[in-house]
Structure 1
Amino acid sequence: MDKVILIKEKKTWDEALDYCREKHRDLVSITDRHQQRWVEKRAKMADTEFVWLGMRYTCTLDLWFWVSDRLVCYDNWAQDEKIEGCDRATAMKRDGKWYERREGESLNCICAL
């Protein structure tokens, strides 16, 4: 049973979050390898090099968190791809690796159903 959908529209991270919450359930959270595979499969079909995931950075607490309130216990970060600043969120590249991207970038996104 498929629980994620690729949205082939370019949106900023905030627009993607609003869209997913309005039309589906939420921006996708990946908490294990199984979910990672599902999302990776969708990401390969995106029109943009990266797709937004439901993880964002908070400067106040200096940590990454899933907007769905799931614990960050699984990750698939690409090596040495850090960016500075507070306005960053997580995007997946077609290879399945996670990258920090500026929230203002316009990317496809993956929603949880």
Structure 2
Amino acid sequence: TILTVLLIMELYGLSSSFIKRHYFVNKRMTWNSASKYCKTHFYDLSTFTTEKEEQQFLEDAAHQPADAWVGLYNQSGVWKWSGGENATRITWDTANKQPEDDNCAFLHKGYKKLHDIDCNSQYSFFCMNISEFVLVRQNETWEGALQYCRKQYNDMASLSSLNMMDSGLEKSTQAETEYVWTGLRYLAGDWFWVDGDDLDYKDWYQNEQPQCPAKNFHCGALDKKTRDWIHKGCEEKHNFLCSAQAVPPAVPQTTVHGTPPVPPTNPTNPV
């Protein structure tokens, strides 16, 4: 079976400084197996615990290719998110008599609403990662900042969407330098994010992407005054933004015969 993982969305979650990034995984598993897979390769099954998150998730999942599990399960008559918190609002497909009397939830491809079903059914699923930008208030060259971020956190910050740009700007307000290094780099005729994110979203100063920047001006930073990207000399020393990944919760025990998943005894929460 070919595994296809497709990044479909990102949105703020947990607090304004955290970013959830959701992925559709085109591999059929039971709910519990999907949960283990997400906690091994990502953070957890996808959750959307506020109205804003739910609306954004449902909009951005509009082109999902198949029915897919989400991180929602029933324990002793109470619906909970995979992190263990009670689900206070759920967009069930009430027009189709949902929920019924099962213990795990999936997003229906056609109706774009949640259905419940036996947890031992096999579906594709949504996983999520949760990350946070960290401002490092010490002056480094771009290369020095890259090495620091990869040693102390995960990588340099990628501002590859409006949400991530907003988060980066928020963090950068506390910087002690006018410019703040990001993970934006120019090599072999192209600008790119060092963590591999696509460069679809752009926010260059005056919307002018440097096509052939002068020698050594091959590193991208945030300009605190203009609130845009700017290319700077890579040997200049500035504060910088790193990306830190939240630690996944413990993997739950295996379920049997469609019973609800057993939550971890001491889940590790990012906040």
Scaled by the length of structure 1, what TM-score is found?
Answer: 0.91
Residue number among 238, 242, 251 corresponding to 1:107 in the alignment: 238
Residue number among 66, 83, 94 corresponding to 2:193 in the alignment: 66
Q: Deviations over 1:74-105 (max 9, x none)?
A: 11100258541255200001142000001000
- Unmatched 5+ stretches in structure 2: 1-13, 19-131, 245-271
CA distance in 2, matches of 1:96, 1:63: 22
1:25 aligns with 2:154: yes
> How far off its partner does 1:63 sit?
0.5
Counterpart mapping for 1:3-82 below 5 A: 3-58=132-187, 61-79=188-206, 82=210
Match of 1:91? 221
Where does structure 1 differ by over 2 angstroms across 4 or more consecutive aligned residues? 79-83
Task: Using CA pairs under 8 Å that are at least 6 residues apart, name the structure with larger relative contact order, 1 or 2.
Answer: 1
> How far off its partner does 1:48 sit?
0.2
> Which letter maps to 1:62?
G
Scaled by the length of structure 2, what TM-score is found?
Answer: 0.39
Query: Cα gap change, 1:89/1:111 in structure 2, threshold over 3 Å: closer, same or farther?
Result: same
CA distance in 2, matches of 1:27, 1:75: 17
Q: Deviations over 1:14-70 (max 9, x none)?
A: 000000000000000011111111000011110000000001001xx2010110011
CA distance in 2, matches of 1:96, 1:104: 22
Contact 1:57 1:86 (C-alpha < 8 Å) held by counterparts? no
Contact 2:219 2:233 (C-alpha < 8 Å) held by counterparts? yes
Task: Give aligned pairs, total.
Answer: 111
- Other structure's SS at 2:163 match: helix
- Unmatched 5+ stretches in structure 1: none
Contact 1:50 1:92 (C-alpha < 8 Å) held by counterparts? yes
Contact 2:150 2:156 (C-alpha < 8 Å) held by counterparts? yes
Contact 2:158 2:195 (C-alpha < 8 Å) held by counterparts? yes
Contact 1:36 1:96 (C-alpha < 8 Å) held by counterparts? no
CA distance in 2, matches of 1:90, 1:105: 11
CA distance in 1, matches of 2:189, 2:139: 28
CA distance in 1, matches of 2:214, 2:185: 13
- Over the matched positions of the two proteins, sequence identity in percent amounts to 27
CA distance in 2, matches of 1:38, 1:107: 19
> How far off its partner does 1:11 sit?
0.2
CA distance in 2, matches of 1:62, 1:54: 16
Task: Tell which structure's C-alpha radius of gyration is larger.
Answer: 2
